[in-house]
């Protein structure tokens, strides 16, 4: 009927939809690679290692930018940002609006399409474990939020994660074009810290205060209620928050370690340049002193600095 709001639930037919969009993602991946990244990399004359990283960051910049704009549009139009209480109110969120469901299916399709792309892109064996770990984490979190009816919380977390990742891979692209330009890495560092703080605050808000206040606290898998009865137990709730804090602390520790290593390499490079410049200046000064001491040649005759010959004149006998 006119004005009727249609909502959707997940089911086995989602697998067919995801399979279809996997092929769409492979085609779009090839288009970006063929008409953008390959042309730019040929002009830059990158090495094999840098060429692989350049392709990876180029693809992820396009994906993260698209996902950030799309996800921001979804959370604004659905009112999840203007009304933070909607993240836990009326849990479980079994029935989804069309754009929320479609966003999650496309996200799953993209990260699944990266598995065959490891073969198509001929990724080096050393890079495969790292990329597989990254793909598995994204699939675990996105599928978990989708199947456990935490889609609203998952949208906000994906928005924060993709926003920080966009700046990181954009900084890598700029670095490959100009190795002296690392300003975007500093911007990414600030954005990363801010998004981690927002992520931790959001976890505490939803898990610590939101879900325990849900009216339906009984375990009801048929209605999609998997967590409310657990979060009503303060011991379980504090344990989950402790695990979340420890995970975020480990992420921040890796980030700090990475920044310290990068700054140490930067300062070592600057000090080596200063030493090389000082050595070159000292060499030029020594060369000037040697010229002053030994005189200079003019028309095959060695002359002193004042233009006179350095040879002693012989006195003629009277």
pTM: 0.80
Residue 26 and residue 39: Cα distance in Å, rounded?
A: 19
Residue 245 and residue 239: Cα distance in Å, rounded?
A: 10
pLDDT of 255: 87
User: For residue 318, is pLDDT > 50?
Assistant: no
Identify which has the larger pLDDT, 146 or 230: 146
User: For residue 99, is pLDDT > 60?
Assistant: yes
CB of 139 closer than 8 Å to CB of 108: yes
pLDDT of 18: 97
- Whether 270 is in a domain gets the answer no
Q: Which 8-state DSSP code applies to residue 149?
A: T
- Whether 97 is in a domain gets the answer yes
Q: Tens of pLDDT along 16-29? A: 999 999 999 999 99
User: For residue 220, is pLDDT > 70?
Assistant: no
- Whether 84 is in a domain gets the answer yes
Q: Tens of pLDDT along 191-219? A: 999 999 999 999 888 887 877 776 655 55
Q: Which domain holds residue 206?
A: 7-232
Helix (H) / strand (E) element for 204: namely none
CB atoms within 10 A of CB 186: 12
User: For residue 150, is pLDDT > 80?
Assistant: yes
Residue 295 and residue 292: Cα distance in Å, rounded?
A: 5
- Whether 279 is in a domain gets the answer no
User: For residue 311, is pLDDT > 60?
Assistant: no
Identify which has the larger pLDDT, 228 or 13: 13
| Structure-token pair, residue 43 | 């002009």
Residue 75 and residue 69: Cα distance in Å, rounded?
A: 10
Average pLDDT of the segment spanning 146-156: 90
- Whether 312 is in a domain gets the answer no
Q: Tens of pLDDT along 269-292? A: 778 878 787 777 777 767 666 655
Average pLDDT of the segment spanning 250-256: 88
- Whether 275 is in a domain gets the answer no
- Whether 54 is in a domain gets the answer yes
Reported confidence tier of residue 122, pLDDT bands at 50, 70, 90: confident
Residue 23 and residue 31: Cα distance in Å, rounded?
A: 13
- Whether 237 is in a domain gets the answer no
Count structural domains, the chain: 1
Identify which has the larger pLDDT, 146 or 244: 146
CB of 158 closer than 8 Å to CB of 140: no
pLDDT of 84: 86
Long-range contacts of 111-114 (CB under 8 A, 24+ apart): 111/135, 111/138, 111/139, 111/142, 112/18, 112/22, 112/139, 113/22, 113/25, 113/26, 113/29
pLDDT of 257: 86
pLDDT of 17: 96
pLDDT of 75: 95
Total residues found in the chain within this entry: 318
Average pLDDT of the segment spanning 231-249: 78
Phi and psi at 96, nearest 5°, equal -115, 145
Average pLDDT of the segment spanning 101-130: 91
């Amino acid at each position: 009927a006119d004005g009727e709001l249609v909502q959707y639930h997940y089911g086995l037919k989602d697998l067919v939809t995801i399979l279809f969009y996997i092929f769409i993602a492979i085609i779009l991946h090839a288009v970006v690679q063929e008409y953008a990244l390959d042309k730019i990399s040929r002009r830059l004359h990158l090495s094999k290692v840098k060429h692989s990283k350049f392709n990876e960051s180029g693809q992820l910049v396009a994906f993260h930018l698209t996902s950030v704009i799309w996800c921001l549009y979804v959370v604004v139009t659905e009112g999840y940002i203007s009304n933070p209480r909607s993240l836990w109110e009326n849990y479980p969120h079994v029935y989804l609006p069309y754009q929320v469901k479609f966003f999650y299916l496309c996200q799953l399709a993209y990260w699944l399409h990266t598995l065959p792309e490891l073969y198509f892109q001929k990724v080096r064996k050393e890079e495969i474990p790292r990329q597989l770990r990254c793909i598995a984490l994204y699939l675990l979190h996105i599928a978990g939020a989708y199947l456990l009816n935490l889609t609203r919380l998952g949208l906000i977390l994906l928005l924060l994660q993709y926003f920080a990742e966009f700046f990181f891979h954009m900084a890598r692209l700029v670095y490959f074009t100009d190795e002296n330009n690392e300003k975007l890495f500093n911007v990414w560092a600030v954005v990363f810290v801010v998004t981690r703080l927002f992520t931790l605050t959001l976890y505490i808000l939803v898990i610590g205060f939101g879900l325990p206040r849900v009216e339906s606290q009984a375990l009801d898998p048929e209605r999609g209620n998997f967590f409310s009865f657990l979060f009503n137990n303060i011991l379980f709730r504090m344990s989950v928050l402790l695990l979340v804090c420890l995970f975020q602390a480990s992420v921040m520790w890796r980030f700090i370690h990475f920044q310290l290593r990068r700054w140490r390499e930067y300062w070592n490079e600057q000090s080596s340049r200063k030493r090389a410049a000082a050595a070159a200046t000292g060499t030029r000064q020594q060369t000037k002193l040697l010229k002053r001491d030994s005189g200079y040649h003019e028309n095959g005759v060695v002359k002193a600095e004042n233009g006179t010959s350095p040879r002693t004149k012989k006195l003629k006998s009277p």
